[in-house]
Amino acid sequence: MRKLLKAIPLMLVAMMLAVMVSACNSGGSGSKVDVGIVLPTKDEPRWVQDEQRFTDALKETDYSSEILFSQGSSAKEKENVDALIAKGIKVLIICPQDGDAAAAAVEAAKKADVTVIAYDRLITNTDAVDYYVTFDSVAVGKAQGQYLIDHAKGNGQPLYLYAGAASDNNAFLFFEGAWSVLQPKIADGTFTVANSTEALALQDKAELSREDQSKIISQVTTNWDPNDAKNKAQTHLTAAVADMKGDVAILAPNDGTARSIADVFASDSAVTSFTVTGQDAEKASIQYIIDGDQSMTVFKDVRNLVKDSIAMAVAVLDDKTPETTGSYDNGSVEVKAKQTEVQVVDKDNVKAALIDSKYYEAGEFTGL
């Protein structure tokens, strides 16, 4: 019995040592992360696809990474960044849920000597952003607007405007690009804005200030939410007079909202035809395009955006200067940027652009 009692303290010491060793290991190299990646939500196909692309791209490097999702919450986004900082990240790649609200998260990263790369969406009103990897968002809007012009029918064609979230700087850039090409055609009577009194009041103004854009976007925002887009489109069509139906043109900001808006317009018997824009080349929208239910999408090859982001992160980790092609004013500083080109895709070139390039497999669609 006495031998057993003497053995118990030794056993306790051994157990405590084991716990201490385990704790040291969990906070050491075993859990150390070089590149932290924070994406907005798992509820949209785009970001789930990005997760896989980042995972695949990082396999080709010598650096470790961790990907977290903010699930539409800026508070969760900040928690994610803090958790990654605690794991010793040297580079943060972050697509903000809200460009302004993300400032607090990246400022915390900057204080920890982390290089911050804004991914796809610019983080605004802070000097804690080192780089920005993006598609040319103004070019996306121009491509959408030009497509509507190229497929305009007659004079005075009803034009329904929709935009992304007012909290997303990209929504303003997309709208800026679209307005720059659509405004002359609104002013000359080719199009008549059907769903925004603010746009009508500004129809003779070629260049809109941020405040001007805010006035229009506040009326036509979808918040990037297909349900919000559906409800707004239903409200607009219910209020529309007869001559604001017939053959219509619709500026939809992205594919998710485009499908919802298209479904609403397709269900109105007074709408004879519609041309509707999109962006992101989401799989569901490619099927819509094949079926004739969505007119076009702006293909932003996310594979290239991911590669550019990883190349930038690796350059930083290798103590090299990342390649940049321009800069964006985020309201506080000029952020050095790497821009990736975009491509218009419609029924005529969908196979060449997306199937032949191996972005999607032909078997994922019907009617090709």
pLDDT in tens, the chain (368 residues): 444 444 445 554 444 444 443 333 333 344 789 999 999 999 888 899 899 999 999 988 999 999 999 998 999 999 999 999 999 999 999 999 899 999 999 999 999 999 999 999 999 999 999 999 999 999 999 999 999 999 999 899 999 999 999 988 899 999 999 999 999 999 999 999 999 999 999 999 999 999 999 999 999 999 999 999 999 999 999 999 999 999 999 999 999 999 999 999 999 999 999 999 999 999 999 999 999 999 999 999 988 999 999 999 999 999 999 999 999 999 999 999 999 889 999 999 999 999 999 999 999 999 98
The two domains 35-129+302-341 and 137-300+345-364 share their CATH topology (first three levels equal): yes
The per-residue pLDDT for 361 is 96
The per-residue pLDDT for 9 is 55
DSSP label at residue 35: E
Q: What is the CATH number of domain 137-300+345-364?
A: 3.40.50.2300
Q: Cα-atom radius of gyration of the chain, to the nearest Å?
A: 25
Give CA–CA dist 368/351, Å, rounded. 7
Domains of the chain, by residue range, sit at: 1-28, 35-129+302-341, 137-300+345-364
Give CA–CA dist 134/336, Å, rounded. 11
The per-residue pLDDT for 22 is 38
**Which residues make beta-bridge pairs with 275?**
249
The per-residue pLDDT for 5 is 46
Q: What is the CATH number of domain 35-129+302-341?
A: 3.40.50.2300
